[in-house]
Amino acid sequence: MTRITTRDGTGIFYKDWGAKDARPIVFSHGWPLSADAWDAQMVFFADEGFRTVAHDRRSHGRSDQVWNANTMDQYADDLAELIEALDLHDAILVGHSTGGGEVTRYIGRHGTARVAKVALIGAVPPLMLKTEANPGGLPIDAFDAIRKGTFDNRSQFFRDLTIPFYGYNREGAAISEGIREEFWRQGMMGGLKGQLDSIRAFSESDFHRDLARFDVPTLVLHGDDDQIVPIGASALETVKIVPNAVLKVYRGADHGLTETHQDRFNADLLDFIRA
């Protein structure tokens, strides 16, 4: 297995597909998943001539499960160490959900010297939690319920979560049991402690300052029926902060649109990268 060891001694698993001298696309996955969530995109873009890279966030997938340092700052630093270890330049960073927060915090902490473009997909910035300054966010009770469900019966909670995640509770939805099972498999590979910590990281991290540091072309893509990261407090606010960001809204689309709208998403991302 391909791994790097970070400065704090954590082993991070990653995939590196396609020609090593090609332009790199680096994918960051959502909670509670792994790099496997990006397999279809990695194959598609490698076939289009790109080098595709995706890692398992610490305490997720095949990476080491650590007790401490499951924070957004550390996730961003791990991403920086991976990019540096592979000596990637002119990279396109693509982050879904929590991965969008990871990419955003990476730019906030490490800048864009190695980055050409960014795509934030159903991403959590600028802030998910409802506060006085962020009245459109979700109340803390919503995240407490995620914590409780994950702690009490993680296996069942992950199975149940797939229903709103992929919009399978909407009229006319074509439910894929395979997608549901794969979500469960990836989630159960991770460590409970790290996944619980990650709920705080994705819900309470404030990305306003990070977004203000963006100085490369940015695509903000979101479904307007996203039941996990509602578009109003996320994508619609992000494009107000990032200079010249391109907003693309999928009507009626769910949080897991990289899978439920896979071909359309791949084509739109390719168009953005090649523009």
DSSP codes of every residue in 52-105: EEEEPPTTSTTSPP-SS--SHHHHHHHHHHHHHHTT--SEEEEEETHHHHHHHH
pLDDT digits (tens, 9 = 90+) for 117-155: 999 999 999 999 999 999 999 999 999 999 999 999 999
Helix 72-85 vs helix 98-110: angle between axes, to the nearest 10 degrees?
A: 70
**Amino acid 38: pLDDT:** 98
Least Cα distance to 97 among 272, 223, 6 occurs for 223
Neighbouring residues of 48: CB distance < 8 A, sequence distance ≥ 6 = 270
In whole angstroms, what is the distance from residue 211 CA to residue 100 CA?
11
Q: Are 214 and 117 in contact (CB under 8 A)?
A: no
**Amino acid 166: pLDDT:** 98
Q: Are 201 and 90 in contact (CB under 8 A)?
A: no
SS3 194: helix
Q: Give the count of domains, the chain.
A: 1
**Amino acid 108: pLDDT:** 98
Neighbouring residues of 58: CB distance < 8 A, sequence distance ≥ 6 = 6, 10, 12, 64, 65, 66, 69, 70, 74, 75, 78, 194
- Supply the CATH number for residue 94's domain: 3.40.50.1820
**Amino acid 84: pLDDT:** 98
- In eight-state DSSP terms, residue 21 is T
**Amino acid 202: pLDDT:** 98
Rg (the chain; Cα; Å): 17
What residues of the chain score a pLDDT lower than 70? none
Structural domain for 100, as ranges: 3-274
In whole angstroms, what is the distance from residue 50 CA to residue 17 CA?
9
- Compute how many other C-beta atoms are within 10 angstroms of the C-beta atom of residue 97: 27
In whole angstroms, what is the distance from residue 118 CA to residue 59 CA?
25
Residues identified as active-site = 97, 226, 255
